[in-house]
Amino acid sequence: MNRGEDRETDRNTSYKGWAILAKAAYKVDLDNVGMITPWGEYGNGSGDSNGTWSGNRTFQSINTDYRPGGIYGRFDNNSGEVLGNAVTGFAGQSNGLSNRIIWGVGVKATPSGLNKLTVGAAFWRYAFNRLSDNGNASGTNAATRHSRNIGSEADVTAEWKHSENVSFKAMAGSFKPGAYVADVKGAGAALNPAVMLSGDVAIKF
């Protein structure tokens, strides 16, 4: 939860935002099969439906690094649509829980005969917490504020932990734009999914 003031030349902004992030997982060790871990995650950060008054209910973290999803999370600051807080330089920002409701479910598995390999599947859904009633607040703009649904994503992953300090990870994912994007684009706009294949190498020194 945040509280505080941002003193500007024209007015004082009183911050009254809040956020919660809850995670749950359960490991099941099956003989001659391996380790299976179903999991779930839920995040909720407050938004502001009026950007003209002196208060601000949008949750603001100091330096967020919350980036769920292989596509939505990887490209967290270069959206072609306004997903952020309508602040110069941050309009396309999607990382964090500012004005967000995000939930995900999935499962990870490590085969008993390949204990360095972990495969997984996940589904994520992203939405605004609040819609705006003017073009300067977070969320949808004044002319097209109909839906809070940003989109959903499905990912499959495979990670090979070569050693304590070296690992390799591959991901295939698909992000489907939600009704918010359709509202912004207008009637008849194509909502083609974004599909991505990626590979990462992690080395610890």
Residues lower than pLDDT 70 in the chain: 1-13, 50-54, 76-94, 132-145, 186-189
* pLDDT at residue 143, as a whole number: 57
* pLDDT at residue 180, as a whole number: 81
* pLDDT at residue 84, as a whole number: 57
Name the average pLDDT for the chain: 81
pTM (predicted TM-score)? 0.83
| b/e 8-41 (16+ beta carbons within 10 angstroms → b) | eeeeeeebbbebeeeeeeeeeeeeeebeebebeb
- Amino acid identity of 156? V
Tokens of 101: 């409701």
Strands 149-161 and 117-128: antiparallel
SS3 state at 183 = helix
Euclidean distance between CA atoms 145 and 161, whole angstroms: 45
| CB-neighbour burial class of residue 119 (10 A; exposed 0-12, middle 13-18, buried 19+) | middle
* pLDDT at residue 90, as a whole number: 46
68 in Cβ contact with 173 (< 8 Å):
no
Euclidean distance between CA atoms 130 and 138, whole angstroms: 8
* pLDDT at residue 49, as a whole number: 73
* pLDDT at residue 6, as a whole number: 56
